[in-house]
Amino acid sequence: MRVCEAEGLGTSETAQMNVDLPVKEVMTPHPRAVQLGDKISDVRAALADGRMHHLPVLDGKLLVGIISTTDLLEFGFAPRDTHENVDDYLDEHFNIEQVMQSWPVTIPSNSTIRDAADALATGTLHAVPVVKADGELVGIVTSTDIVSFVVSQT
C-alpha cells in the first residue's frame, strides 16, 4: 500500500491516506456528456448552472474531447450570458469540434486516486475523463474530487 502523509492545517498531527484506492472511489460515474454533433448552445446551457465546468464530448460512446467553461470564454461567451441572440449566434458560427479540446488526457478505469492526481497535476484541465480500454467514457475526476478526498482523510 502506498501512503501519502499530509500534515493537518494548524496541527502537528500527520494523517495517512491510501492513494492507491481505485479511482472509482472519487470519480463521478457516467457524467453528463455531449455528442460531437450537439449544438454549442446546448453546451452553454449545460454549463450555465455552474455545477459543472467540464463536459466530455462523445462520438457515440467514444470519448473524443472535452469542453470547458474556459473554452467558451475564449470565444468571448460566458456560459451564463443571457443575451437574446447568444445561442443563435453560437450555433450559427461554431460547432463543438471547433471549441472543444480534442483527445484530452485520460486515465483508464482501473487507475488509482494517485494516477488521477498525477494526471490532473500534469494536464491543462481541472478534469480527467476515466475511460475503458476501448475509449468508452465511464467517469470523470476533477481537482475538486481530489481535494475533497484529501480533506476527508485528514
Domain of 9, CATH number, reads 3.10.580.10
3-state SS, residue 33: coil
Q: Report pLDDT for 17.
A: 74
Q: Report pLDDT for 111.
A: 96
Nearest C-alpha neighbor of 80 from the set 109, 111, 51: 51
Q: Which domain holds residue 77?
A: 3-153
- Structurally, how many domains does the chain consist of? 1
pTM: 0.82
DSSP per residue, 111-137: -BHHHHHHHHHHSSSSEEEEE-TTSBE
Q: Could you say which residues of the chain have pLDDT below 50?
A: 1-14
Q: Report pLDDT for 5.
A: 47
Q: Report pLDDT for 15.
A: 53
